[in-house]
Amino acid sequence: MPAILLINGFPGIGKRAVAHELVPLLPDARVLDTRAAHHPEPHAALLEAVVRVLDSPAAPHTLAIPVFLSVRRADRAALLELASLASTAGWAFVHVILCASTEAHVARAAAAGRASEDDLLLLRMEEEVAALAPCPDLTAELELDTTCLDARATAAVLAQYCDTLRREVCVQARPRP
């Protein structure tokens, strides 16, 4: 079963790096990076991009999407709509939440030149990364603490999780004698 991996987490946590590290580890995987598409309505742009991939005859087996979606109502609505799109198309929808200690997160973001320490600390106090469960269209939701993991090690954990999940979904989908 093909899968959408929505990789969520605060800015600077390493979502994009993890997504790119996943590509060589998962069969026929592709990253859908919408950060550069400065669209006036980012949720609409994300949904449109996913629909284009799902409708494509050359759709990948795994689509990794790095994005920050918080608990704000518009972000949660976008998550629910993505889960519904995936379910309707027969794709698994896995919501991955990357987190790390404040110190590790600030260090990563600063090293990447993404945000100041003050900005990140304020964001972490005022926002919360959205969780979806319970949601009928959600195949799985995983929160992964990456404090002691680099992007490659995090991708390896996710790839192993996806392989396990695929085996479980295949076993459940088999007809019983």
Residue 114: which CATH number? 3.40.50.300
Number of domains in the chain: 1
Cα–Cα dist 116/127, whole Å? 16
- Residue 138's pLDDT is what? 84
Taking Cα atoms as reference points, which of 93, 88, 77, 83 lies closest to residue 4? 93
pLDDT tens digits for range 106-150: 787 777 776 666 666 666 655 566 666 677 888 888 889 999 999
Q: How confident is the model at residue 24 (pLDDT cuts 50, 70, 90)?
A: very high
Cα–Cα dist 14/167, whole Å? 27
Has this prediction a pTM greater than 0.85? no
pLDDT tens digits for range 49-73: 888 888 888 888 888 888 776 666 6
Q: Percentages helix, strand, coil for the chain, rounded to the nearest 5?
A: 45, 20, 35
Chain CA centroid to CA 74, Å: 17
Q: How confident is the model at residue 92 (pLDDT cuts 50, 70, 90)?
A: confident
* pLDDT (mean) for 146-173: 84
**Mean pLDDT of all residues belonging to the chain:** 79
pLDDT tens digits for range 67-90: 776 666 667 788 888 889 889 888
Whether the predicted pLDDT of 172 surpasses 60: no
Look up the domain containing 65 and give its range. Answer: 3-173
Cβ neighbours of 171 (radius 10 Å): 8
